[in-house]
C-alpha cells in the first residue's frame, strides 16, 4: 500500500481515522455476483459482516482525490472499518465563508479538478448534482456569470467531510470556529448578519439546521437483527435437524427465535421513535435574525447557518444552534447538556480595542475556551439583560449535528464498541467450544468412514456434533433476558437503543457518583466562618451576619464573590454561592430596564449590608469590565473581579476555604 494514498482524518481527535480511496470495478462486481450465486448467498453475508472485504473485492485502489468509494478505519483500540460513497454536488462557489462576488468566475483554470462549466458525469463515474435540489439550481441561475463548482464530499455518522484542495484531503466543515478568527474580528466582520443570498449559499454546504434522528423501518431492523452470525448459525442448525427428522426441538427453537426477534425489533423501534421525538421537540422554532441591511427577519430555525446573527428574545427561548453572544447578557439553564440544574450567566464575547495588547486578550474564538460566552444548542435561555435600544444578539457558530447537542445525539446513535473482559472471555469460551466441536467433527467423520457409514449419514451426524457443542438457542435466550430487562428499566424511565449493552450491567458490583446531590441531600448549609488576618487564624464564628462581621472586608468578599442573579425576583445560582450569600445577610440589587436606559452600558449588580447596620459604600459584584481599577483575584477557585469602595484605596484579599 502506497503511503501517499493513505490519508488521516481528524488527526489528534477522538474520531481519528485512516482513509483509502477506491474506484468501482465492473468486472470485479460481476465476479462477486457469480460468487454469491455459487455460494447460495453466503458470500454476500460474509461481505455484509466484513465491509473491508466488500470494498477490496469489488473495487480497485486509486488516489483519494479520484475515489468513488472511501474505506475508513478507526485508529482506536477497536480498529473498526467503515465505507462511504463519495458524492459530488454543484455550487456557485467553493468556499461557504467567502462572498459569491469575490470567488472565482468563469475564468477558472481548466486544471482545477473540481470545477467545470457544466454538469456532465465525471471521468471516474460520478454524476454531479446540485445539493438539496432546487436551492442550488436557483443560486446557479441567479449567478449565471459564475462557473459552477463541483464539490466532492462523503457522509459518515451524520457528519459531512468535504474535499479541500489546499491540503489534498477531506475535512469536516463544522462551523464558524473553523476559521480560527479572533474575538475582535468576530465582532467586526460577523456581527452584522448575512444577506439572504449568503444564507442560502452557506446552507448548500451546512445543510438544514436540524438534528434528524432517522427511525429505521421495521424491515431494516429485522434484517439487521436476523443477519447476526448467531441467528445464521441457528438457521443452519434448524435445517440440519429437520433433515435428521428432529422436528420438535427445531420447531421450539424457531418459535423462541421468532418471538424474541419480534419483541426485540418492536422495542428497538419504539426506543428510536422516543429518541426522535425527544430530539425533535424543539428543533423547529421561529427565530429573528439580523440581515446585513440592518433589517430584522423572522425565519424558521432550520434555515439558520453559521454566520447568521440571531436575536435572543427577552422572555427566553430554547437554543436551536450553538451561538456566541456579541451583545447583552443571558441567564441559561444548561441542565440538558451538563446535568447541572443551576442556571449560569452568559456574557457577551470580549471585544478588545485594536490598540490593546492582543496576544492573550484577543485569542482565536472556539466554543471550549469561550464557553462562558457561548449559548449551546438545546439549552434554555431563561432571561436576557440589555439596555434600552439595544438587542441581545448572538452569532450562530455551529448548526445541526456539529452542535454540542448534536455531538451528544451522535454518541447515542453511534456508540463505541464495549471492550470488557466479560466479552473477551465469552468469545474465548465460544472459540474453545468451536475447537472442541472441530475435533469431534473430524473424529466422527474418520470413525464413520472406517465403519463404512453412508455419506448422507456421515454429513448429518458430523455436523450435528457442531450444533450440540455450540448452543444455537443462545441468541434467543439472551434476547428474552434482554427484553425482560428493558421492560423493567422502562418502568423507571430508563430507555436504551443498544440493548446488548444491558448484559454488561450484570457484572457491576460498585457504582460511584461524582458530585453532591446525586444520592446525598441537594445543597449545603454554612456552619460558620474562620477569618485570616495578618497571617493568623481567628476563632471560628458561627454567624457571619454579626454586626462586627457584617461590615468587614471578609464578609464583603463573601457577598460579592459569586455569580448569583435574580430571576423573577428570586435569587438563583450555585447552591454553595446561594448559601454563602444568604449567610452574610446582605441584599442583592439589580438594575431594572428603566434604570439601565439612563446609562450607555448595562448597570452593575450592587450588594449592600442591611440598612440598620450603617454600612459603608456599596460593594460591586461584576462579571465584566464595567469600570476601570477592578482588582482580579481567585476566591474559592473561581476567577472574579472585586471593588471595595471605602475609606482607603487599598483592600486586603483573602482566600476562602
Q: Which residues are catalytic?
A: 514
112/110 Cα distance (integer angstroms): 5
CA torsion, ordered 19, 20, 24, 25, to nearest 10 deg: -160
334/339 Cα distance (integer angstroms): 7
H or E segment and range at residue 464 = helix 455-469
In DSSP terms, 162 is beta-bridged to 153, 171
- Of 273, 308, 298, 80, the closest CA to residue 194 belongs to 308
- Of 208, 193, 24, the closest CA to residue 122 belongs to 24
Which phi and psi (to 5°) does residue 22 adopt? -135, 155
589/234 Cα distance (integer angstroms): 72
* Cα→Cα distances 248→242, 257, 302, 441, 462, Å: 9, 14, 57, 24, 20
Phi-psi region of 158 (alpha: psi -120 to 50; beta: other; left: phi over 0): left
* Cα→Cα distances 514→86, 106, 517, Å: 44, 60, 9
Within 369-505, strands assigned E span 374-375, 380-385, 393-398
- Of 509, 507, 508, the closest CA to residue 425 belongs to 507
Q: C-alpha grid cell for residue 415? A: 456508540
Find out whether 21 and 66 touch, Cβ atoms under 8 Å: yes
Running DSSP on this structure, what letter comes out for residue 313? P
Q: State the residue for C-alpha cell 459569586.
A: 562
Tally of residues, the chain: 657
Q: How far apart are the first and last CA of the chain?
A: 60
Nearest-Å Rg of the Cα atoms of the chain is 33
H or E segment and range at residue 491 = helix 474-491
Strands 329-333, 344-346: pairing kind: antiparallel
Amino acid at each position: 500500500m502506497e503511503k501517499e494514498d493513505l490519508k488521516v482524518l481528524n488527526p489528534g481527535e477522538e474520531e481519528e481515522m485512516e482513509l483509502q480511496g477506491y474506484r468501482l470495478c465492473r468486472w470485479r462486481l460481476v465476479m462477486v455476483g457469480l460468487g454469491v450465486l455459487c455460494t447460495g448467498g453466503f458470500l454476500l453475508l460474509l461481505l455484509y459482516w466484513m465491509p473491508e472485504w466488500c470494498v477490496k473485492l469489488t473495487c480497485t485502489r486509486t488516489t483519494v482525490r479520484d475515489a468513488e468509494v472511501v474505506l475508513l478505519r478507526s485508529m482506536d483500540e477497536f480498529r473498526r472499518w467503515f465505507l462511504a460513497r463519495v458524492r459530488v454536488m454543484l455550487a456557485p462557489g467553493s468556499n461557504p465563508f467567502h462572498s459569491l462576488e469575490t470567488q472565482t468566475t468563469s475564468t477558472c483554470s481548466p486544471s482545477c479538478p473540481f470545477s467545470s462549466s457544466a454538469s456532465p458525469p465525471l471521468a471516474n463515474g460520478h454524476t454531479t448534482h446540485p445539493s438539496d435540489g432546487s436551492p442550488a439550481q436557483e443560486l446557479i441561475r441567479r449567478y449565471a456569470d459564475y462557473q459552477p463548482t463541483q464539490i466532492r464530499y462523503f457522509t459518515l455518522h451524520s457528519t459531512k467531510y468535504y474535499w479541500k484542495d489546499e491540503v489534498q484531503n477531506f475535512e469536516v466543515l463544522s462551523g464558524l470556529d473553523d476559521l480560527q478568527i479572533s474575538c475582535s474580528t468576530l465582532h467586526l466582520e460577523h456581527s452584522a448578519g448575512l444577506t439572504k443570498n449568503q444564507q442560502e449559499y452557506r446552507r448548500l454546504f451546512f445543510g438544514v439546521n436540524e438534528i434528524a434522528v432517522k427511525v429505521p423501518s421495521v424491515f431494516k431492523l429485522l434484517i439487521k437483527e436476523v443477519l447476526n452470525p448467531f441467528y445464521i448459525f441457528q438457521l443452519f442448525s434448524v435445517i440440519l435437524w429437520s433433515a435428521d427428522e428432529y422436528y420438535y426441538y427445531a420447531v421450539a427453537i424457531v418459535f423462541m427465535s421468532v418471538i424474541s426477534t419480534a419483541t426485540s425489533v418492536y422495542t428497538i423501534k419504539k426506543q428510536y421513535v422516543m429518541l426522535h421525538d425527544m430530539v425533535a421537540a424543539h428543533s423547529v422554532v421561529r427565530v429573528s435574525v439580523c440581515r446585513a441591511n440592518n433589517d430584522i427577519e423572522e425565519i424558521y430555525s432550520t434555515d439558520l447557518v453559521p454566520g447568521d446573527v440571531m436575536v435572543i428574545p427577552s422572555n427566553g427561548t430554547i437554543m436551536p444552534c450553538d451561538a456566541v453572544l456579541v451583545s447583552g447578557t443571558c441567564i441559561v439553564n444548561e441542565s440538558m447538556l451538563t446535568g447541572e440544574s443551576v442556571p449560569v450567566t452568559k456574557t457577551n464575547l470580549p471585544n478588545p480595542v485594536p490598540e490593546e495588547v492582543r496576544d492573550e486578550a484577543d485569542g482565536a474564538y472556539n466554543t471550549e475556551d469561550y464557553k462562558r460566552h457561548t449559548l449551546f444548542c438545546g439549552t434554555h435561555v431563561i432571561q436576557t439583560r440589555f439596555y434600552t435600544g439595544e438587542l441581545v444578539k448572538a452569532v450562530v457558530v455551529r448548526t445541526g449535528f456539529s452542535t454540542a447537542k448534536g455531538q451528544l445525539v451522535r454518541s447515542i446513535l453511534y456508540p463505541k464498541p464495549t471492550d470488557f473482559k466479560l466479552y473477551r472471555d465469552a468469545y474465548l469460551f465460544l472459540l474453545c467450544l468451536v475447537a472442541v466441536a472441530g475435533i469431534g467433527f473430524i473424529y466422527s467423520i474418520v470413525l464413520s468412514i472406517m465403519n463404512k457409514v453412508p455419506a448422507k449419514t456421515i454429513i448429518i451426524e458430523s455436523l450435528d456434533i457442531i450444533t450440540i457443542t455450540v448452543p444455537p438457542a443462545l441468541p434467543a435466550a439472551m434476547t428474552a433476558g434482554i427484553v425482560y430487562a428493558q421492560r423493567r428499566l422502562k418502568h423507571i424511565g430508563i430507555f436504551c437503543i443498544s440493548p446488548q449493552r444491558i448484559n454488561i450491567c450484570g457484572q457491576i458490583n460498585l457504582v460511584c457518583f461524582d458530585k453532591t446531590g446525586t444520592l446525598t441531600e441537594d445543597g449545603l448549609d454554612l456552619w460558620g466562618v474562620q477569618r485570616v488576618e495578618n497571617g493568623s487564624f481567628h476563632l471560628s464564628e458561627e454567624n457571619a451576619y454579626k454586626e462586627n462581621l457584617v461590615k468587614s472586608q471578609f464578609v464583603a468578599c463573601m457577598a460579592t464573590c459569586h455569580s448569583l442573579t435574580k430571576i423573577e425576583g428570586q435569587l438563583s445560582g450555585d447552591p454553595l454561592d446561594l448559601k454563602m450569600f444568604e449567610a452574610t445577610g446582605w441584599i442583592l440589587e439589580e438594575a431594572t430596564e428603566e434604570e439601565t436606559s439612563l446609562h450607555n452600558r448595562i448597570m452593575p449588580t450592587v450588594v449592600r449590608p442591611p440598612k440598620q447596620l450603617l454600612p459603608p459604600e456599596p460593594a460591586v459584584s461584576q462579571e465584566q469590565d464595567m469600570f476601570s481599577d477592578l482588582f482580579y483575584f481567585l476566591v474559592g477557585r473561581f476567577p472574579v473581579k472585586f471593588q471595595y469602595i471605602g475609606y482607603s484605596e487599598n483592600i486586603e484579599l483573602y482566600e476562602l476555604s
